[in-house]
Structure formats: structure tokens, C-alpha cells
Amino acid sequence: MSNQQTQVSLREAFLYWLKLGFISFGGPAGQLGMMHQELVEKRRWLSETRFLHALNYTMLLPGPEAQQLATYIGWLLHGKRGAFIAGGLFILPSFFILSLLAWLYLAHGDLPLLQGVLYGIKPAVTAIVLFAAWRLAKKTLHSPALILLALWALVAIAGFNVPFPLIILTAALTGWILLKWFPAQLKAPATQHSTTAQAASTAQTAAIINDDSASPAVQRFSLRKLVMAVAIGIAIWLVAIGVLTAIYGWHSTQTQLAWFFTKAALLTFGGAYAVLPYVYQATVEQYQWLTALQMIDGLALGESTPGPLIMVVTFVGFVAGWSQQIFGPDSLVQAGFIAAAIVTFFTFLPSFVFIIAGAPLVEASRQQAVFTGPLTAITAAVVGVIVNLALFFGYFVLWPAGFSGQFDAIALLLGVISAIALFKFKQSIMRVLAAAAVPGVLLSLI
């Protein structure tokens, strides 16, 4: 059988991944849809079954599933080179765009036009987060045990401020218990399985990487390759954080950014919406690198730019470097850019290691089931965490000065209209954000 790596040129793949990096709006659902439509249906670079198998693996991992799926497909097509090209180009455009927006926000944030845009889209972002929770709930909460787990997570983080990592660990343990003694509580309805099976059975015989394509020798699993890939990833991390510690010290903002976002990267089960409360707890309350309102503004900007939503951490890093003046008061732009680069590097390094190390093993187990009880339980708990995030945003949007301040009825109206557009009329996220920005701008001009 011919090697699929020779049938799609590296140049052709590079141009596609570069294009995707600039047009990947709409969050994970939109990005996955774009890749499926282009790579499975139009270009036929891989079959439906191979696409779903890769997606299943990335859903098991912490980190942004869309970026990891792009990295995985790049690896399937062109090995490690393809993985780094696909994964890197998926985030680089967003990194530069968000760094530029963060600079504009900090240096010229008092401009009425920018204030108007942010005022309009923040209520829409609240509706978008709530919509994300609803979509995930529809796919996940298919038994009483999982519904109770989601409610428990909501109460734990909203009412008792339980740390996000502890919620994840508790949910995983609960999932293991359910799998052992109450497995029926973890099974999805037959309709979901049949839909997936029907999609997976779609004939894709013309795909370059089809259901029966064998992996090239260099991509086949071996324990030595797995250990080496993990060791190299850990070594890169140790060298990077060691250099920061040697130059700036362990307690410096630079090193603490690297350490915290390494931990965050390993806990992002359920995507950016799930980890943002954890990021908020640390960056706003513990380290005080930015304010709550700046965090909301950052998410609003992240929703309106291409790339995975977790790229909002680039904005967080830029604001942290700027506000902490890590290079002094005369080098704020340099400080913001370097801090943003540190955060982005340490957030995405684990994602590349997971794919480079794990993809050969996943390809070797294509005929085996990979779903687990702990993952299902974690995803259920994530629903409650995302609802808490929506409530958190809604509070700051509707009561900017706290409950003792004035209630913002216009923000409520914009949020309700955005929710109707999403839930009832199935409008895209970008369209909702653009529509919400218009009244914000008009109000700023009045």
C-alpha cells in the first residue's frame, strides 16, 4: 500500500493549515466542523472513521481538542513535521492578533469606540458561555447520576469555591465507581450511538488515508518511541522553566506564569470554558495579575478572534506582563509580548507531547474501544463548571459595580437577544458577536 505522506504535498498541507489559522472562528464546534467539511468531505485527505477515531482520542486529553485534532491529522499526513506545522499554524495567527488587541486594549482602552464594542459583546459572551453549557449538557447528561454530578460541580465551585483540580479528580473517581458498579449510568442513549455508527460507516473509499490504510513504519508504535517522546517533552519543559528561573528567579512573574499555565494545560478537560474558572481563581484572586473585568474583556476579545478559545490565555499573559511591569515602566509592550509568549508556549507544549507520543499508540488500537467512565464523569462535572462561568460573567455584566451598584438593563436586553439568536435561531457565534457590537458602538456615539 502506498505511503499516504507522499500523496498530499507538504506545501499543500502548509497552505491549508495557514488558512485555517486565520479563519478558525466559532470555537471548537465551528473549528471541528470546518476541518471535517474540508478534509473529509472536500479534499478527502482522510476517511470519516479515521477522523472520528482521531477526534475521540483528542476528546480524552486535556487541552484544546480542535488544535490537537489538527496536530494529529498533520502527523498522519507528514509525521512529526506535519504535526508541528498543523498545530503551530493553528495558534500562531491568533497569538499575534490577540497580542495586538491586548496592546490596543491596554494602551488605548479608553477610546469610546473600543469601549462600545466591548460593552456590546460582553452580554453576548455570557449567552455564548451558557449556550456552550447547554450543548455539552445535551450530549453528556443522559442519566440521573451524571445530572447530579453536574449539579454537584456547580454548587461546589459556585457555593464553596472548591478548586477546579479537586472537582476534576473527584469527578474522575466518581466515574470509576460508576463504571465498576453502575455502568448503565455512563451509557449514552442508543440513538447517539446509532448516529455515530451511521456517520462512521459512510463510504470514504477514495480518501487518501482510508479505513484500511496502514501506518508508515516511522509512525508505528513502539515503547521506545513513546518513552523517548515523553522524555524529550519533559526535557524541553525543564530547560525552558529552568532558564526562566535562572534569569528571573522562581518567584518572578515570568516563572510563575510558566508554572501556573503548565498546571492549567494539564487540567483543561472540557475545553477552555471549563478551565477558565481555574484561570480566574489564580490570575485574578491569587496572583492579582489582572482584574475580573479585564478577564471578561479578554474572553470577549478571544471569542471574536480566530483560533482555539483557550488562546484567551495569551491576553491574560500580555496583561500580566504589562501590569506587573516585568521589564520596568518604560518597556510595557515588550513585557506584555514576552509574558504572552511564555504563557502560550507553556499552555500548548503538553498538547504537542500528547499527540507526538500518543498518536502511534492510538493508531495501533483503532479496533478497540477507548471511552472511559472517568472521562464521561469529568465531562458531566464540566457542565456545572461552565454554568458557573456563565453566572460569574452575568454578574459582572449586569452589575458592573456589584449588587450595591446600578443594574444594567440594556446589557440584560442584549444578553437575552443574543441567547434567543443562539438557542432558537441557531445563529453562528461570530454573527451574534458582530450583531451585539453594533448597539454597543451606537451607544458609545450617543
Sorted by where each begins, the domain ranges of the chain are 4-212+222-445
| Residue 141 near residue 150, CB atoms below 8 Å | yes
0.85 surpassed by pTM: no
Among 64, 115, 105, 103, CA closest to 86? 64
What pLDDT sits at residue 190?
Answer: 54
Q: Say whether pLDDT at 356 is over 70.
A: yes
Work out the percent of the chain whose per-residue pLDDT is above 90: 49
Residue 264 corresponds to which amino acid? A
The values of phi and psi at residue 209, to 5°, are -105, 95
Q: State the chain's mean pLDDT as an integer.
A: 86
Give the SS3 label for residue 440. helix
Q: CA distances (Å), 361 to each of 69, 221, 260, 285, 407, in order?
A: 15, 5, 29, 40, 54
pLDDT tens digit string along 135-172? 878 878 999 999 999 999 999 988 998 877 788 889 98
Q: What is the mean pLDDT of residues 194-213?
A: 58
* Residue 203 pLDDT class (50, 70, 90 cuts): very low
Q: Say whether pLDDT at 399 is over 80.
A: yes
118 vs 110: CA distance, rounded Å: 11
143 vs 148: CA distance, rounded Å: 9
pLDDT tens digit string along 76-114? 999 999 999 999 999 999 999 999 999 999 998 777 888
What pLDDT sits at residue 271?
Answer: 65
Q: DSSP letter string over 86-110?
A: HHHHHHHHHHHHHHHHHHHHHHHTT
What pLDDT sits at residue 388?
Answer: 87
Q: Say whether pLDDT at 393 is over 90.
A: no
